[in-house]
Structure 1
Amino acid sequence: MSLAGLLPRIWTQLPALCAIFSLFLLFATQLAGALLPNAPLLVTSGAAGLALDACLLHRRPALLSPLSRIRLDVTVRQLLRDMLIVVALLRINGIDPEREMPPLLGALSAFYVLHFACQAVSLLVRRARTLPVVTRNIDVSALNPTAAPPRVLARQAGQRLLAFSVPATAGLLATALTAHGRWGAIGLAASLTMIGMGVARLAGWLLPEKRPASDAQVMEWLDDWLAEYRPTVAMYFSGGASSAYQANMWLSTLAGLERPLIVLRERFMVQKIDATDVPVLCLPKVTTLFALENSTLKAMLHPANSGKTSQVLRIPAIKHAFINHGESDKLSSCNPYAKAYDEVWVAGPAARERYALADVGVEDKDVVEVGRPQLAPIRPYSGPPAGKYTTVLYAPTWEGWDGNPGNTSVVLAGEHIVGQLLNDPRVRVLYKPHPMTGSVDQRAGAADERIRALIHEANAKRSGPRPGPEAQVELLRREAELDRLTSTALRGAADELERMMLQGTPAGDGASRIARATAAWERAYWASSPEWEHRIVTGPRPALYACFNAADLLISDVSSVVSDWLSSEKPYAVANTSGLPEDEFRAAFPTVSAGTVLTPDAATVRYLLDAVRDPRQDHHTADRAKLKEHLLGPSDPPSRERFAYAVRQLCTKSDDRRARANARPAPAIPAPRTAGDVTSARRGTAPDA
């Protein structure tokens, strides 16, 4: 690796290196104080080491992770710290090692015994409170849920050890400084009392009145709940923490179906799903997943592929449809894995043709056009910009896994595109990068940072009237209201079981209240900044579709963003960083056919802006309307109706399959072989011989 590439890595690791060096320096100083012996040096370094360790563990625990990897975790560090004090006490004049040290050593040993006992009890408590299922929006009162024990007792072993060690360590250091053993005895007695009370309190969660239902009882409860709720259709999702948006985009559509259910596989994902009234059921293990086999569930919708999808596909009574989380001309939109599903649901004829051309094993009869029901909030084109400024949304996608330079324009063209836009005094830029930008290619992350710097610099050079303070007050008020409605966060000490208890009853009309609160927040958001100010939009708010409604022009890459934007029929442009000539680029990616193609230098941006401001120069108006129907299907009937109809049809196919299975005679299953049968077979004789 070159020096230029090595320096940034060293710089990012500098805080961790400084923290580790400081701890080792304090240990070395404490060792010197113990061997000399030098009581002031010992006390100063020991107290500073304990304070630094506790501070880092509380505020920046990641900095200490390298020490844990070399088996120098917090328990070893604190034990070493105390042992150095003991060594010093054995060498300091004025302390009788035969009379004063045995009680202190015995008490210190008892403290660590209780610490490890607390560790064992906390493990038992966590296991008892970890159920085979995790839920949201489901009443779990029958499972005897209770509030979680204090986090410092149940889950923060390192912080617990350091906190309870303070009196003992302080007392021993005071003994080293004064040569009086009573200070150590007082400190150790305090620490023993604290850790003993902690063990006793934690053990209370193992008593019957606080112990939740057993695994067998939970599975029996799950069967009863499924029989009572009688789910018809479920959305199945599995993935990493950053992929939750793929499921969240379908929540509003799912909520409009009959008796819907959300099925997850990762425990952490339960809290990653946005606020919804739909019941959420997480089934981490395959054995619990098959509880769905005997339920009333008929159809399952899959917004993404994952390794765990194959497990649920083995339930024959459920029909499965792949609904995807976005469509584009990229190869990932025609994954061969799609042939594993009973049906593949797409937006319009373009995706059907894409699967046919890809020839990945998806038969045309299994492709169902349902539109994109999530696009309802996008407002249609209403003419050229009416105000002083033309708002341009630059929403590039991320770099992808295959290293193709045409995946994202951020690396090769992003700075040129934004630079050209910022050169026009009548443009306001909205920059919304993909949340995974820079996760694979560091160059994309670096380019993203430079683009943000350009926007900040451009804003610093602009001036004009700003909204009054009441606009910011209104935004804060609306944000607080929306946070209250959408937040899934609870108190920091809450564990899975407590969250299941507190999130057991949905609001009932939560979806409509959230929609109203979101619309009010979006109005306050755009009103809180001057119309001339460029914006860098990150995080979940404002959502992409809200940015669509605020923009007059989109510049993006070959991605589902372009397909969704076309529902508005507004002008758009696509950056070509693939290296293909424009004619080949348009032929390879049909979503580009009704837009402007930008080269990496973005030299034609000014002509694109002229066409946006003057419709007479816009030669793609009719093409966009035609391409919209080709990509997204007809507007009548609405996509929500087509989607709901496809769900009903899939459920009907499930009913038909069950009817055929029930009509077939049960196969004759041979009786299990006995030990005598096996022995006779080995001897070559009949069982009765």
Structure 2
Amino acid sequence: MTASKPGGSRFSGWLAEARTSVAGARLPALMVELPALAALLLAAVGGSRLWALAPAVVALGLLAWTWRRGAAAGTFVVARVLLLACAYLLGAVHGLDPTLAVGVAVAALAVLGEPLLAGMYEAVYPVSANLPGLGSQPDRSPNPGRVALANGAAVLVALVCAFTGLVGGIALAAAAVALGFTAFTGLRVLRAVLARRGREARLHAALTAYEPDFLVHWNAPAGTAYQLAMWLPYLERLGRKFFVLVRNQTNFTEAVALTKVPVVMRMGLNQLDEVIAPSLRAAFYVNTATVNNHVVRYTNLTHIQLNHGDSDKVPSHNPVFRIYDRNFVAGQAAIDRFAANGVRMPAEMFTIVGRPQVENVAIAAGPIASIANPRVLYAPTWAGFYADSNYSSLLVGYDIVKALVARGCSVVFRPHPYSNRSAALAGECARIRALLAEDRRTNGRPHVFGAEAEVAMSVADCFNASDAMVSDVSSVVADYLYSEKPFVMVAVSAPAAQFPETFPLARAAYVIDAHDGRVQGLDAALDDLLGSDPLAATRRDLKKYYLGDIPADRYAQRFLDEASRYL
């Protein structure tokens, strides 16, 4: 089952692929450069200035359209130089004010200086935050985007002067201002680069003086801060000094928003030696990012993989887990999962620590059949990066939520944050939110969705606000098991009859079959979920298997004790 809508536009799919290809990266530039080139040629051979007007207007319009969300210095340089050459030819061929030629040359110099300015600006990146002794962050206020706008305005003025016969001195004045602004911004950027290099020179000394016991290495796509956020409170409860090491500016910004501990950014492999302070004893990881091996190569550290959830998904038994000294897992199920899938790992590489994140999840107070109008959490996962990890039930989610509403249930809807990365899944999320909004307006049921469920509430809050759950193959299912409340799993990647064999946690779930894109067994599953609940005892047994046989009053302490052994 794919994440694309049936009957979707083939052209839109091709365009999406083109945008991510090497050739596709040139497509926007070519769209502007070709009419600019046409304007230049018509200016050279045309008998009238008006001949070059139409393609010049098209080129300028496309420039404005592509810059509508903010100009980027160093882009569309060729197109703008072609337009300036067009203005020069019109001035030379039609006998316009000679100062126009000087204005064109000055404007071209400013435009050609943008790539250098943009390259310098890329070097104005943060080094650290919250680290004592390293001073403030670099000043990124000299935004080259404003330079691009100023130079674009100079190009426009030159063209207007060329087409209308206005005094060329106007174009020269505009170009001089643009060039001056470009040079001034360049000086400010240079100062910021030098300041960054000064902070880098002091980084190792600052970390050495800070004396951290461990670091947390995190590299992930934008919008995945939850991976780090779920572990930070427990790492901070260790009471030991540490810092978060990130590898890109997006993650740096996200990490700084989550914690007051030092955050250090090092992008290149050759920049990592300076962050390995003598006091460091361990490194923790919250995902299996490829660049984790940049830090794993430091053999003087103990490398501990925490991961960001436990599930029966393919990524949860990836052989890459072998590269870590220790894998902290929730329960015996995680260990057996590797063996069951042919991934041989020594027993000493695993440590069962439970899932400390569920310590505040409330246990079911009684049978669900005693609740008159139960509230059901629908928490679908996303489509995954690859076809073999697409377990999302969102494409049939509307039918499931509609059936819940028809039974008088209120719904908490919390999709995976990555759902918005797929147009098809995002569209289904919108349909479900609209359904819940309409039912809440019409029947007054207290549905929870949108920002209220996805931002204001944590996952644990959503668990505690529900009496049952519908999900698919996701780590939230194992976490929900802690509550001992009933749940449904939607079988997307395999028929319902084969589902528990591939995904053992389904032994504790009521299964809805959706492997061929159609919902089957929905009513029977919901009858069991909301009624007699025959799997209650099975859930209690599997809870220990998946989440560890750990006393509830010391549940999170197990992780703290085990982590402290390596510090």
Q: Indicate the TM-score class for this superposition, using the shorter chain for normalisation.
A: 0.7 to 0.9
Separation in structure 1 between the aligned mates of residue 111 and residue 12 of structure 2, nearest angstrom? 41
Partner of 1:9: 13
CA shift, 1:564, in A, is 0.6
CA shift, 1:418, in A, is 3.3
Partner of 2:209: 228
Partner of 2:506: 592
Partner of 1:470: none
Separation in structure 1 between the aligned mates of residue 188 and residue 314 of structure 2, nearest angstrom? 56
CA shift, 1:346, in A, is 1.0
Between stretches 46-55 and 338-347, larger displacement belongs to: 46-55
Q: Which amino acid aligns with 1:109?
A: A
Partner of 2:3: none
The superposition leaves residues 180-208 of structure 1 with CA deviations (integer Å, 9 ceiling, x where unpaired) of: 5xx2212322321342244135325546x
Q: Is the 8 A contact 1:323 1:346 kept in 2?
A: yes
Partner of 1:256: 237
Q: Is the 8 A contact 1:322 1:344 kept in 2?
A: yes
- Please state if 1:265 is matched with 2:255: no
Partner of 2:128: 135
- Please state if 1:150 is matched with 2:172: no
- Please state if 1:429 is matched with 2:411: yes
CA shift, 1:534, in A, is 6.6
Residue 151 of structure 2 is aligned with which of 158, 161, 167?
Answer: 161
Separation in structure 1 between the aligned mates of residue 55 and residue 499 of structure 2, nearest angstrom? 66
Partner of 1:81: 83
Partner of 2:328: 345
Residue 177 of structure 2 is aligned with which of 175, 193, 209?
Answer: 193
Q: Is the 8 A contact 1:586 1:593 kept in 2?
A: yes
- Please state if 1:309 is matched with 2:224: no
Q: Which amino acid aligns with 1:595?
A: A
Separation in structure 2 between the aligned mates of residue 23 and residue 597 of structure 1, nearest angstrom? 56
> In structure 1, the residue corresponding to 2:131 is in which secondary structure?
coil
Matches of residues 100-111 of structure 1 in structure 2 within 5 Å? 100-101=97-98, 103-111=99-107
Separation in structure 2 between the aligned mates of residue 193 and residue 60 of structure 1, nearest angstrom? 20
Separation in structure 2 between the aligned mates of residue 211 and residue 457 of structure 1, nearest angstrom? 52
Q: Is the 8 A contact 1:414 1:447 kept in 2?
A: no
The superposition leaves residues 272-308 of structure 1 with CA deviations (integer Å, 9 ceiling, x where unpaired) of: 3242112111222233312344421112111111222
CA shift, 1:626, in A, is 2.3
> In structure 2, the residue corresponding to 1:235 is in which secondary structure?
strand
> CA 1:205 to 1:589, structure 2 compared with 1: closer, same or farther past 3 Å?
closer
CA shift, 1:391, in A, is 2.3
Separation in structure 2 between the aligned mates of residue 189 and residue 60 of structure 1, nearest angstrom? 25
CA shift, 1:577, in A, is 3.3
> In structure 2, the residue corresponding to 1:393 is in which secondary structure?
strand
CA shift, 1:574, in A, is 1.2
CA shift, 1:333, in A, is 1.5
> CA 1:641 to 1:569, structure 2 compared with 1: closer, same or farther past 3 Å?
same
Partner of 2:375: 391
Partner of 2:160: 170
Partner of 1:675: none
> CA 1:145 to 1:328, structure 2 compared with 1: closer, same or farther past 3 Å?
closer
> In structure 1, the residue corresponding to 2:67 is in which secondary structure?
helix
> In structure 1, the residue corresponding to 2:152 is in which secondary structure?
helix
CA shift, 1:318, in A, is 1.1
CA shift, 1:90, in A, is 3.8
Matches of residues 112-131 of structure 1 in structure 2 within 5 Å? 112-117=108-113, 119-120=115-116, 123-124=119-120, 126-127=122-123, 129-130=124-125
Q: Is the 8 A contact 2:35 2:59 kept in 1?
A: no
The superposition leaves residues 291-335 of structure 1 with CA deviations (integer Å, 9 ceiling, x where unpaired) of: 344421112111111222222122222111111111112342222
Q: Is the 8 A contact 1:330 1:559 kept in 2?
A: yes
> CA 1:223 to 1:26, structure 2 compared with 1: closer, same or farther past 3 Å?
closer
Matches of residues 19-58 of structure 1 in structure 2 within 5 Å? 36-38=46-48, 46=56, 49-50=59-60, 52-58=62-68
CA shift, 1:232, in A, is 1.1
> Unaligned stretches of 5+ in structure 2?
1-5
Q: Which amino acid aligns with 2:300?
A: A
> In structure 1, the residue corresponding to 2:259 is in which secondary structure?
coil
> In structure 2, the residue corresponding to 1:325 is in which secondary structure?
coil
Separation in structure 1 between the aligned mates of residue 337 and residue 18 of structure 2, nearest angstrom? 49
> In structure 1, the residue corresponding to 2:418 is in which secondary structure?
coil
> Unaligned stretches of 5+ in structure 1?
466-529, 652-689
> CA 1:350 to 1:278, structure 2 compared with 1: closer, same or farther past 3 Å?
same
- Please state if 1:567 is matched with 2:482: yes
Q: Which amino acid aligns with 1:263?
A: L
Separation in structure 2 between the aligned mates of residue 14 and residue 364 of structure 1, nearest angstrom? 46
The superposition leaves residues 507-553 of structure 1 with CA deviations (integer Å, 9 ceiling, x where unpaired) of: xxxxxxxxxxxxxxxxxxxxxxx534473568655433332222222
Partner of 1:665: none
Q: TM-score, normalised by structure 2?
A: 0.82
> CA 1:31 to 1:377, structure 2 compared with 1: closer, same or farther past 3 Å?
farther
> In structure 1, the residue corresponding to 2:243 is in which secondary structure?
strand
CA shift, 1:14, in A, is 13
Greater Cα radius of gyration, structure 1 or 2? 1
Between stretches 400-409 and 258-267, larger displacement belongs to: 400-409
> In structure 2, the residue corresponding to 1:593 is in which secondary structure?
helix
Q: Which amino acid aligns with 1:222?
A: L
Q: Is the 8 A contact 1:391 1:553 kept in 2?
A: yes
> CA 1:591 to 1:77, structure 2 compared with 1: closer, same or farther past 3 Å?
same
Residue 631 of structure 1 is aligned with which of 523, 543, 546?
Answer: 546
Q: Is the 8 A contact 1:263 1:283 kept in 2?
A: yes
Matches of residues 140-539 of structure 1 in structure 2 within 5 Å? 141-142=134-135, 146-151=138-143, 154=144, 158-175=148-165, 183-206=167-190, 212-213=194-195, 215=197, 218-257=199-238, 258-273=240-255, 274-383=257-366, 384=368, 389-401=373-385, 403-404=387-388, 407-411=391-395, 413-424=396-407, 426-437=408-419, 446=424, 449-450=427-428, 452-453=430-431, 456-457=434-435, 459-460=437-438, 463-464=441-442, 531-533=445-447, 535=449
Q: Which amino acid aligns with 2:173?
A: A
Identical pairs, percent: 24
Separation in structure 1 between the aligned mates of residue 121 and residue 441 of structure 2, nearest angstrom? 59
> CA 1:259 to 1:604, structure 2 compared with 1: closer, same or farther past 3 Å?
same
Q: Which amino acid aligns with 1:552?
A: D
> CA 1:140 to 1:35, structure 2 compared with 1: closer, same or farther past 3 Å?
farther
Between stretches 308-317 and 165-174, larger displacement belongs to: 165-174
Q: Which amino acid aligns with 1:428?
A: S
Q: Is the 8 A contact 1:350 1:631 kept in 2?
A: yes
CA shift, 1:211, in A, is 6.2
Separation in structure 2 between the aligned mates of residue 33 and residue 314 of structure 1, nearest angstrom? 61
Q: Which amino acid aligns with 1:393?
A: L
Separation in structure 1 between the aligned mates of residue 145 and residue 505 of structure 2, nearest angstrom? 51
Q: Is the 8 A contact 1:552 1:612 kept in 2?
A: no
Separation in structure 1 between the aligned mates of residue 527 and residue 121 of structure 2, nearest angstrom? 67
Separation in structure 1 between the aligned mates of residue 108 and residue 276 of structure 2, nearest angstrom? 49
The superposition leaves residues 321-352 of structure 1 with CA deviations (integer Å, 9 ceiling, x where unpaired) of: 11111111234222222222221111122223
> CA 1:561 to 1:90, structure 2 compared with 1: closer, same or farther past 3 Å?
same
Q: Is the 8 A contact 2:110 2:151 kept in 1?
A: no
Between stretches 454-463 and 159-168, larger displacement belongs to: 454-463
Q: Is the 8 A contact 1:34 1:85 kept in 2?
A: no
Separation in structure 2 between the aligned mates of residue 374 and residue 211 of structure 1, nearest angstrom? 41
Separation in structure 2 between the aligned mates of residue 541 and residue 235 of structure 1, nearest angstrom? 26
Alpha-carbon RMSD = 3.9
CA shift, 1:621, in A, is 2.4
Separation in structure 2 between the aligned mates of residue 554 and residue 357 of structure 1, nearest angstrom? 27
CA shift, 1:565, in A, is 0.6
> In structure 2, the residue corresponding to 1:535 is in which secondary structure?
coil
Residue 557 of structure 2 is aligned with which of 638, 641, 659?
Answer: 641
CA shift, 1:223, in A, is 2.4
